[in-house]
Amino acid sequence: MIGSVLLRLAGSTSQGLIVGQIWVLVGVAVLAVPWLCRSGSRTWLALVPFALVVAAAPNQAILRGDADVPMACLLAVGAAALVACALVVTLVARRDVLSVAGVAAALALLAAPWRLWVSAHGPSASDVTPLSTSLDPGFLADRLGQLDLGARELLGHFANPAYGWLVPAFLAVAGAALLSRSATRTAAFHLVGFLLVVAALLWVYWTSQQPDVPSHVSRTALRTVTTPLFLAAVGLAHLLPQLVRRPER
């Protein structure tokens, strides 16, 4: 769906134009997240994880024009924006909070026509198993092997040095923040968000009804790993400057 949006914005099916747009979106995300994190003089710490994620194996997805990279960028910036909005809610006057809520409502209204059009005309997720089937205990029990295969494939990418060790680093930093009670809320937010995305991906693999599930998992895991990597990067971008700043107080 994001790929179709890019094609519409470009007004062309040129692969080079699509790749150029994705690079612009990646650049905007790399610059936006440190600004949203309010890293100050330690902005370079917030930039390091994004330099790693752009240089990691998923950068091949940019050259292919895959929609996974734009989606990962949007989710990463969205996660940083949510933390920034939460900070605004706790620090500013009620009138300013209402202004932020008004902007959020306006964005929702702007997105509503597009969502209504898609629900009526497509594209629809025809390859996703309906909940009426995927929540059946017998259906899930028969496909435990798919869950194991998806978990091994996806988690194996996380431990692959080609992906910059971003996920192990994020889990270690988030765990240290929680144990030391430093930036606890920020760490919990990013950790829960990351785990929910990974759980959603594993759920899709677990309930998949593709005719050749092993090939499907092996082929798509190279792309679906992109979003967790970007979320790990934004988590590190938020946490590293905060954890370094603490001892100076």
Dihedral (C-alpha) 214, 215, 219, 221: value to the nearest 10 degrees? -10
For tokens 């990463």, the residue is 76
- For the stretch 1-13, pLDDT in tens is 454 555 555 555 5
Confidence of residue 199 (pLDDT cuts 50, 70, 90): very high
Concatenate the DSSP letters of all residues of 183-222 into one string.
Answer: SHHHHHHHHHHHHHHHHHHHHHHHT---SSHHHHHHHHHH
Residue 46 CA, chain-centre distance (Å), reads: 16
- Most confident range (mean pLDDT) of 93-107, 126-140, 152-166 is 152-166
Beta-carbon-side half-sphere exposure of residue 169 (alpha carbons within 13 Å) = 22
Chain centroid, CA 241 distance in Å: 20
pTM of the full structure: 0.74
